[in-house]
Structure 1
Amino acid sequence: MDRLKGVEYFKRIYELGSFTAAADEFQCSNAVISKYVRFLESWTGSKLINRNTRTISFTDEGERFYTYCLSIIEQTSEMLDSVADTGDLSGELVIASPVSLSMKVMAPLIFQFRQAYPQLTIRLQMSDQLTSLVGSGVDLAIRGIGSPEDSSLIAVRLGALERVLVASPMYLASAGTPLTVEDLRQHQCLIYSLSTDAKSWEFVPAGAAGRSHAPFSVAVSGPLVADNSLVLVDAAVAGLGIALVPRAYIRQELADDKLRKLELDALPARRSIYAVYSDRHYLPRRARLFIDFLRASLESG
């Protein structure tokens, strides 16, 4: 049997916690997965997985074998990259990215990258919750943060998103148009709960572009708090209040006059986009090239 394939199967069984999920991912049967596990247990001379009809758990030997699997797969990827560094990319690139950012910004760039490397498979995991990179099978995560709390992670800045304040004509007709940042305290504001400035929006003086002036904050509140920016866009269109969102998310709504950009006495602070990956694991060439592609595309955009 193919020992390396068995190592790959075991790694994903461990990370997914299920024979069935691993079989689905590799498009094979549970019987094939089970056969490889028995082969690995015979090869190592140890019981690696305790399993019954409903659950599985890993023995101490299984836990150590998972660490071995990570090492073998990373060393194999590094070797293949080194002997074919100028060849076409292949294999699978696993990316974790927030939902709104994926749909409005990342998806077109992913399509372009895939067209440039037709042998590559891309698996995009969309979630607004932060994804753990350790033991998840994710090569890199796209996040709007600068310094990961986990010191073992590396964050590479890709570019920045311009954020704008918007509201519907209906809302502005009934509530009035704010002229200053301080006016926002008296308005209904729509809150993105996962932002670092969720309830205290950050601004910079007009003309500063957020580069040489420290941002200042203004406390806001309103009728809707959500962990997805596109929901807030829909709420703004429906007239619920003022939203602070990246311009890239609302180009069509602005063009159709469903939303109007508010011009105040200060500018919303930009939000940088970062590629985050683990310092403890080898970064495949496909991930390195994707990061370079994103950085060039976002900086030029």
Structure 2
Amino acid sequence: MDRLKGVEYFRRVYELGSFTAAANELQCSNAVISKYIRYMESWTGSKLINRNTRTISFTDEGERFYRYCVSVTGQTRELLDAVADADNLTGTLVVASPVSLSIAVLSPLFIRFQKENPSLSIRLQMSDQLTDLVGSGVDVAIRGVEAPEDSSLIAARLGALDRILVASPGYLENATVPTSIAHLRSHKCLVYSLSSDANQWEFMSPTGSGKPIAVEVEGPLVADNSMILIEAAKAGLGIAMVPRAYVNADLKNGSLQQLKLDADPVPRSIYAMYSDRRYLPRRAREFIDFIRKSL
């Protein structure tokens, strides 16, 4: 049997916590996974996994063996990167990225990167929910945030993501046009639920003190996707705070108008996040560099 494959199979069983999940990801049967786990236990001379019909748990030897598996698979990946054709990226790059950011900003870059590297396959997981990089086998997660919160991940800033306030001409015709952030309390505001300032929009202090000013907002629609909020703003439901890059076309054609208040929204940045610099595949490193330069 292939010992290196057994190491990889054990690693994914550990990270996913399930034989079935590992089998689905690796496109094989539970029986194959079980066979390789037994092979690893025979090779190490230790019981690695306690399992019954419903759950699995890992012995102390299994915990130590997992750390060995991470080291082996990472070093193998580094070696293959080093000896591979320098002009030819291969394998599968798994990227997790928010839906709106992917569609509005990143999709042309994903396509261009793949066209420039035709031997590379890109698997894109689009979700506005935060992703467990290890558990889902993701190489790189892209996020538009004020600052990364997960200290267990490495974050590389790729570019700026400025936010603005927008509303439709129809909404502004039927409401007093706000000129101050304090006026937002009396307006219908469209809330992005996954933002760190979802219900209290943050604005940069005009005095330059560095501490943001928070304004409590509420309105008729709360959603976990910015594209829905943009459509709602165009339909006249209220004011939305969204990245400028998402609404450039709407500002040009007049379906939305930017509101100029006495303070600007706290900007966001685009970050690439990954779990381990030492074992980051070359295809992921070059992808991150490409996105940074393109942005």
**Contact residue 187 and residue 241 of structure 1 kept, 8 A:** yes
**Contact residue 152 and residue 279 of structure 1 kept, 8 A:** no
Whole-angstrom CA distance in 2 between matches of 1:148 and 1:99: 18
Whole-angstrom CA distance in 2 between matches of 1:81 and 1:260: 49
State the shift of 1:73 in Å.
0.5
State the shift of 1:273 in Å.
1.0
**Contact residue 146 and residue 274 of structure 1 kept, 8 A:** no
State the shift of 1:166 in Å.
1.0
Whole-angstrom CA distance in 2 between matches of 1:130 and 1:31: 32
TM-score (norm 1): 0.85
Deviation readout 1:45-69 (Å, 9 max, x if unpaired): 2222233333333222222221111
Whole-angstrom CA distance in 2 between matches of 1:182 and 1:136: 43
* Paired letter, 1:272: S
Whole-angstrom CA distance in 1 between matches of 2:288 and 2:264: 29
Structure 2 regions of 5+ residues with no counterpart?
Answer: none
State the shift of 1:176 in Å.
2.8
Whole-angstrom CA distance in 2 between matches of 1:152 and 1:293: 24
Whole-angstrom CA distance in 2 between matches of 1:106 and 1:213: 33
2:224 alignment counterpart: 227
2:273 alignment counterpart: 276
State the shift of 1:134 in Å.
4.8
Once the two structures are superposed, the pairs formed by residues 183-262 of structure 1 within 5 Å of their partners are 183-198=183-198, 199-203=200-204, 214=210, 216-223=212-219, 224-262=221-259
- SS of equivalent to 1:200: strand
**Contact residue 90 and residue 121 of structure 1 kept, 8 A:** yes
Structure 1 regions of 5+ residues with no counterpart?
Answer: 206-211
Shift of the 250–148 alpha-carbon distance from structure 1 to 2, 3 Å rule, reads: closer
Whole-angstrom CA distance in 1 between matches of 2:39 and 2:120: 30
Q: After superposing the two structures, state which structure 1 stretch, 190-199 or 88-97, moved more.
A: 190-199
Deviation readout 1:2-52 (Å, 9 max, x if unpaired): 111111112112222222222222222222222222221221122222333
* Paired letter, 1:180: S
**Contact residue 181 and residue 218 of structure 1 kept, 8 A:** no
TM-score (norm 2): 0.87
* Paired letter, 2:175: A
- SS of equivalent to 2:20: helix
CA RMSD for the aligned pairs? 2.6
**Contact residue 182 and residue 218 of structure 1 kept, 8 A:** no
Shift of the 36–281 alpha-carbon distance from structure 1 to 2, 3 Å rule, reads: same
- SS of equivalent to 1:66: helix
1:35 alignment counterpart: 35
Once the two structures are superposed, the pairs formed by residues 119-198 of structure 1 within 5 Å of their partners are 119-134=119-134, 136-145=136-145, 147-198=147-198
**Contact residue 222 and residue 241 of structure 1 kept, 8 A:** no
Count of matched residue pairs: 293
Q: After superposing the two structures, state which structure 1 stretch, 98-107 or 195-204, moved more.
A: 195-204
Whole-angstrom CA distance in 1 between matches of 2:246 and 2:44: 52
- SS of equivalent to 1:122: strand
State the shift of 1:291 in Å.
1.0
**Contact residue 146 and residue 155 of structure 1 kept, 8 A:** no
Whole-angstrom CA distance in 1 between matches of 2:212 and 2:149: 23
- SS of equivalent to 1:8: helix
State the shift of 1:146 in Å.
5.7
**Contact residue 8 and residue 73 of structure 2 kept, 8 A:** yes
- SS of equivalent to 1:272: strand
Q: After superposing the two structures, state which structure 1 stretch, 151-160 or 242-251, moved more.
A: 151-160
**Contact residue 154 and residue 277 of structure 2 kept, 8 A:** no
> Identity, % of aligned pairs?
66
Greater than 6 Å deviation, 4+ residue runs: none
Whole-angstrom CA distance in 2 between matches of 1:36 and 1:10: 8
- SS of equivalent to 1:164: strand
Q: After superposing the two structures, state which structure 1 stretch, 175-184 or 158-167, moved more.
A: 175-184
**Contact residue 97 and residue 143 of structure 1 kept, 8 A:** yes
**Contact residue 128 and residue 228 of structure 1 kept, 8 A:** yes
1:86 alignment counterpart: 86
Q: After superposing the two structures, state which structure 1 stretch, 55-64 or 253-262, moved more.
A: 253-262
State the shift of 1:103 in Å.
2.6
